Amino acid sequence: MKYILYMIALHVLLTGLVYQVFFQHKLLFIAAEVILFISIAIAAQLYQDFRQPVAFIRSGIEAIKDQDFTIRFVPTGKGEVDTLIEVYNLMIDQLRQERTRLQEQHFFLEKLIEASPVGLLVLDFDERVVQLNPTATRQFSDRILGKKLEETDQGLLQQMSTMPDGESRTLKTTGIQTYKVQRSHLMDQGFRRSFFMLEELTSELYEIEKAAYGKVIRMMAHEVNNTLGATDSILQTTLDFLTEPEFADLSEALRIASGRNGRLTLFMRNFADVVRLPLPRREDVSLNRLVEQVSLFMRATALNQGSSIHTPEPNEPCTLYADTAQLEQVLVNVLKNAIEAGGTEIRVEIQKSELAILNNGKAITSEESTQLFNPFYSSKPQGQGIGLTLIREILVNHGFSFTLKTQADGWTAFRIQFER
C-alpha cells in the first residue's frame, strides 16, 4: 500500500511538471509524456512482481489451513519467486508424506485394537467411559458409556475404579473369571486421560490350577488310602481276637478307630471325585422335571433347618443337552448350600436360558465373593470346599457360565446361564 501511494504521488508530480513544460516546449512535452507512460507501466509491472510472492504465500497458507497438501505451484521462470515456490513445494511434499504415514499408523493401530483379545476402556477428563474396543464391549456392553466406573453395577469395574495410575492387578469376579488389569494414561490436549487394558486369564489359570490340585490330591489319596487300608485290616484282625469281656473297652476303642478310618477314607474319596470327574455324557434333559425331583428330595432337609423350597409352576418346558447325573449333583449341592445359609425361603426360577436358585439367608461378603470358587475354599467352620469345586468342574465341562452373589435386595442368587 505504501508503494502504491508513493508511486501515485511521484507520477502526480511528474504530470504537473510535464504540464508546465507544455507551455514552453511542445516536443519536450511529447517526450515527457512518453516517458511518463513508460514509468507508469514499469511501476505497475514492479507492483505485480512484488505481489506475486505474497499471493503464493497467501495461497499456500490457505491450503495448509485447510489441510490440503495436494496443491503444488509451478515455477514462473523468475529466480526469487521460483526459489520460494521450490521451498513451498518441498515443505508441502514432506507434510503430505508425514500425514500419509500418520494415517497409515492410525489405521493400523485402530485395526490392531479392534482385533486385540485384550479389552480396552478409555476414560474422558471427568473419568467417564467414552470408548470401548470390541473385546471390552462384549465383556461390559456399551451401556456403560458415559458412566463413571463406580457408577456401574458391575463388580469388576467397581474394583478397577480404585486402581491408581500405573498399577497392574489381577482381579476376580463373582464367577471364576479372572482378569489382569492395568491402568495407564495418555496425554490429550495437554491433559491426562486414563485408560484400562484387561486381559482374561480364566482359561490359563483354570488349567494350571486344576493340574496342580489334581496332582496333590492323587498323591494324598494314594498315601492315605494305602495307610488306612493296612491300618483297618490290622484293627479288624485284632478285634477278632479280643472277644473276652475284659477287653470290651479296648474293643470299643478299636471299633471307633475303624469307624474313623472309614470316615477319613470317605473324606479322601470326596477329594478324589473332583479329579476323577468324567466328561459329560450328554442327553436331552427336562430341566423342569429335574428341578422338581431334586427339590422334592431336598425338601425334608430344608424343613428340618426351618426353610422352605418353592419351585415355579410348570410353564414353557426347558430342555437341555447335558449329563443328567452331573446336573443333578449340581442342583443338590446348590440347594444344600442355600439351606445351610440359614434363611427361611429358597426360590427356584427357570427361564429359557437361565436357572436361578435364590435364598434369603446369610449374605456373601465382598471378601468371600472373590474366593468362592477357589479350590477347597469354604466359609463354613467344618466345610471342605468340595461342593463349589465340584459344581465349578461340572459347569465348566458343560460350557455353562455361572455366578454366585448377594443382590442389592439381600437375596443370594446362584445363576446358571445355559447359552453363552
Q: What is the pLDDT of residues 66-115, one digit of tens each?
A: 677 677 766 666 666 677 777 777 887 887 888 888 888 778 777 777 77
Averaged over 8-19, what is the pLDDT? 63
Give the residue with greater pLDDT, 76 vs 345.
Answer: 345
Averaged over 145-162, what is the pLDDT? 86
pTM over 0.85: no
DSSP structural state of residue 73: P
Report the side by side order of strands in the sheet with 191-200.
129-132, 119-123, 191-200, 178-188, 168-172
CB atoms within 10 A of CB 384: 13
Task: Say what the pLDDT of residue 411 is.
Answer: 93
Contacts of 374 (CB under 8 A, 6+ apart): 385
Task: Say what the pLDDT of residue 282 is.
Answer: 92
Averaged over 255-272, what is the pLDDT? 73
Q: Scan for cell 442389592, then name that residue.
A: 408
Judge contact between 232 and 258, C-beta under 8 A.
yes
Judge contact between 359 and 341, C-beta under 8 A.
yes
* Average pLDDT in the chain: 78
- Taken in order 144, 203, 195, 370, is the CA torsion positive or negative? positive
Averaged over 46-56, what is the pLDDT? 63
Measured between alpha carbons, how far is 90 from 81 in angstroms, rounded to an integer? Answer: 14
120 pLDDT more than 70 = yes
Which pLDDT tens digit goes with each residue over 243-255?
777 777 777 777 7
Judge contact between 317 and 286, C-beta under 8 A.
yes
Task: Say what the pLDDT of residue 54 is.
Answer: 62
Task: List, in sequence order, every residue forming a beta bridge with 359; answer none if it has no partner.
Answer: 346, 412
pLDDT range class, residue 351, cuts 50, 70, 90: confident
